[in-house]
């Protein structure tokens, strides 16, 4: 029997997907965002269908041949019911516990994974807030994480968040991270942590996360340090190679025809699946001013590896009043480098910080391109609150996620040290 886990603040499921790939079995996912919950439900249905050799039903769905309710009817009700759409808080805690108890049906929960929203701890979030996010209720969501540990007493937990958590201070001047570790100790867990850079583990992206691991009891030396992997002679453009070239406003959330691919990285990283369709290769539209700026930014990068400084633009192209900070707001993905800059959730608002390096396409990334940089498999389908899939919810879920490959490597190592 495989080890069971609960995913709290699950988002679109990047962390969960890595643990499932390593062999863990999800009991439930708890997530406040409705669109992300539909994504999780679709992914749980996908896993059940693949396990039972019914992949044709998934193919019908992503082609738009059947509706979302019809797709969910293809799997047992319990599969869809395992996703809990709720905001974790004092008022909801009891009902969430009761729901999870029902799903467990007397089984032991082996592991809890997840981390609360990172905006309140991030350096960027603090720099933009006049109170530096102190007093923001999201700062205290970790206390509810402690309540889940207190109730279910899993052997381990894996808590992830932005590296900025290490320096974030509460109103009393103490570090939130110290408060967290004290709470986890109080409820029975020794903790160990490290800052892991995704680029050291096969992800073609410069993305660092703090991974705090707790083990019930007082033993130490259990941290599941994942095996490093830096693909040789592979650059970021590898994730674009087999995707059709499209310009701004082109593409579709529905399956696209990909080009031939003779590389190995996309397979080794668990991204490419030749048996199932590639979706969400759809580019947002851009106005003529932004397209002109994109061309300048792409040319600067491709010719001289030089970033665009907003103040260097012709005055006729400048529309932002802020001329002293965030001057790199137009940033090209470094296609010829071993890893890109970080894909962030703000990509759901505009694509200026994630511009495709091909000047012939001259646009921001598609959700599928961003998902590949996050090592989501191509068969991962991102949902919206409405039946028609959309780019913005997909971008938000992708940008907030833990890279699947990093999660998988952590999960594999945790299995090795389990005991």
Catalytic positions: 118
Q: Which of 84, 109, 106 is nearest to 95 (CA)?
A: 84
Host H or E run for residue 197: strand 189-197
**Does residue 378 sit in helix, strand or coil?**
coil
Q: For 129-182, give the secondary structure using H, E and C.
A: CCCCCCCCHHHHCHHHHHHHHHHHCCCEEEEEEEHHHHHCECCCCCEHHHHHHH
Tokens 């102190």 belong to 134
Q: At 212, phi and psi to the nearest 5? A: -100, 125
Q: Which of 69, 40, 25 is nearest to 380 (CA)?
A: 40
CA dist., res. 372 & res. 301, Å (int) = 21
CA dist., res. 90 & res. 334, Å (int) = 44
Q: How far is CA 309 from CA 109, 183, 313, 318, in A?
A: 51, 44, 7, 11
- Counting every residue, how long is the chain? 419
């Amino acid at each position: 029997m495989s080890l069971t886990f609960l995913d709290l603040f699950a988002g679109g499921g990047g962390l969960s997907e890595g643990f499932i790939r390593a062999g863990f079995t999800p009991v439930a996912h708890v997530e406040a965002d409705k669109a992300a919950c539909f994504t999780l439900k679709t992914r749980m249905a996908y896993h059940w269908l693949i396990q039972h050799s019914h992949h044709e039903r998934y193919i019908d769905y992503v082609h738009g041949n059947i509706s979302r309710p019809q797709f969910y009817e293809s799997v047992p009700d319990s599969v869809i019911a395992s996703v809990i759409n709720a905001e974790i808080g004092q008022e909801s805690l009891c009902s969430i516990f009761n729901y999870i108890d029902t799903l467990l049906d007397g089984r032991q929960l082996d592991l809890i994974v997840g981390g609360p929203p990172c905006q309140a701890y991030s350096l960027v979030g603090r720099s933009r807030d006049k109170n530096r996010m102190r007093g923001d209720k999201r700062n205290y969501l970790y206390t509810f994480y402690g309540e889940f540990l207190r109730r279910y007493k899993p052997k381990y937990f894996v808590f992830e968040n932005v590296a900025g958590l290490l320096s974030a201070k509460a109103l009393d001047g103490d570090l939130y991270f110290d408060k967290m570790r004290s709470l986890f100790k109080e409820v029975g867990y020794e903790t160990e942590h490290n800052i892991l850079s995704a680029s050291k583990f096969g992800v073609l992206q410069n993305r660092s996360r703090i991974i705090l691991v707790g083990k019930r009891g007082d033993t130490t030396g259990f941290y599941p340090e994942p095996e490093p992997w830096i693909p040789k002679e592979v650059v970021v453009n590898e994730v674009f190679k087999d995707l059709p070239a499209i310009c701004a406003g082109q593409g579709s959330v529905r399956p696209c025809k990909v080009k031939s691919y003779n590389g190995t990285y996309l397979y080794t990283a668990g991204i490419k699946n030749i048996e199932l369709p590639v979706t969400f290769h759809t580019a947002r539209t851009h106005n003529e001013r932004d397209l002109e700026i994109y061309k300048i930014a792409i040319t600067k990068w491709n010719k001289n590896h030089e970033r665009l400084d907003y103040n260097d633009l012709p005055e006729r192209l400048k529309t932002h009043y802020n001329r002293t900070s965030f001057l790199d707001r137009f940033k090209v993905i470094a296609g010829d480098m071993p890893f890109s800059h970080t894909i962030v959730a703000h990509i759901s608002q505009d694509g200026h910080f994630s511009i495709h390096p091909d000047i012939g396409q001259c646009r921001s990334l598609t959700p599928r391109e961003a998902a590949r940089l996050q090592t989501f498999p191509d068969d991962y389908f991102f949902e919206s609150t409405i039946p028609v899939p959309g780019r913005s919810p997909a971008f938000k879920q992708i940008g907030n996620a833990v890279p699947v490959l990093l999660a998988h490597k952590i999960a594999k190592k945790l299995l090795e040290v389990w005991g």
